[in-house]
Amino acid sequence: MRPTQARVVVIEHARRALGELDRTRAEVRPSPGMVTGIVTVGLLESTADLLSGPLVAALARDQPGIDLRLFTAYSGHLQLRLGRGDLDLILLYDMDSTPSLNAQPLVRGRPWAVAPPSACLHADRPVPFARVAENIMTATGHGLRALIDAAAARARVDETQMDVVVQTNSMQVQKRLVLAGHGWTILPGWGSTPASRTARSAPLPCAIPKSGARSSCAPRERDGRHPASRSSPGN
Q: What is the reported pLDDT for 169?
A: 77
Count Cα neighbours of 109 within 13 Å in the Cβ-side half-sphere.
18
Q: Tell me what the mean pLDDT of segment 123-145 comes to.
A: 75
Tally helices (H) and strands (E) across the chain: 7, 10
Distance between CA 147 and CA 199 in Å, rounded?
A: 23
Each residue's pLDDT tens digit, 63-76: 888 889 999 987 77
Q: What is the reported pLDDT for 107?
A: 65
Distance between CA 90 and CA 98 in Å, rounded?
A: 13
HEC profile of 210-230: CCCEEEEEEECCHHHCCHHHH
- Residue 82 phi, psi dihedral angles, 5° rounding: -65, -45
Q: What is the reported pLDDT for 185?
A: 84
Reduce the DSSP state of residue 57 to 3 states and report it.
Answer: helix
Q: What is the reported pLDDT for 97?
A: 55
Distance between CA 202 and CA 126 in Å, rounded?
A: 6
Count Cα neighbours of 218 within 13 Å in the Cβ-side half-sphere.
28
- Chain-centre distance of CA 53, in angstroms? 15
List Cβ neighbours of 149 (8 Å cut-off, separation of 6 or more).
Answer: none
What one-character DSSP code corresponds to residue 130? G
Question: What share of the chain in percent tops pLDDT 70?
Answer: 67
List Cβ neighbours of 76 (8 Å cut-off, separation of 6 or more).
Answer: 141, 142, 143
Domains of the chain: 5-107+214-231 (3.40.190.10), 111-211 (3.40.190.290)
Each residue's pLDDT tens digit, 154-168: 777 777 777 888 888
Distance between CA 214 and CA 211 in Å, rounded?
A: 7
Q: What is the reported pLDDT for 210?
A: 44
Instruction: Tell me the range of 11-15, 28-32, 200-204 where mean pLDDT is highest.
Output: 11-15
- Residue 7 phi, psi dihedral angles, 5° rounding: -70, -35
Distance between CA 121 and CA 199 in Å, rounded?
A: 9
Q: What is the reported pLDDT for 194?
A: 47
- Residue 30 phi, psi dihedral angles, 5° rounding: -75, 155
Each residue's pLDDT tens digit, 214-233: 566 777 665 444 555 555 55
Residue 234 in this model has a pLDDT that exceeds 60: no
**pTM, rounded to two decimals:** 0.61
Q: Tell me what the mean pLDDT of segment 91-113 comes to.
A: 68
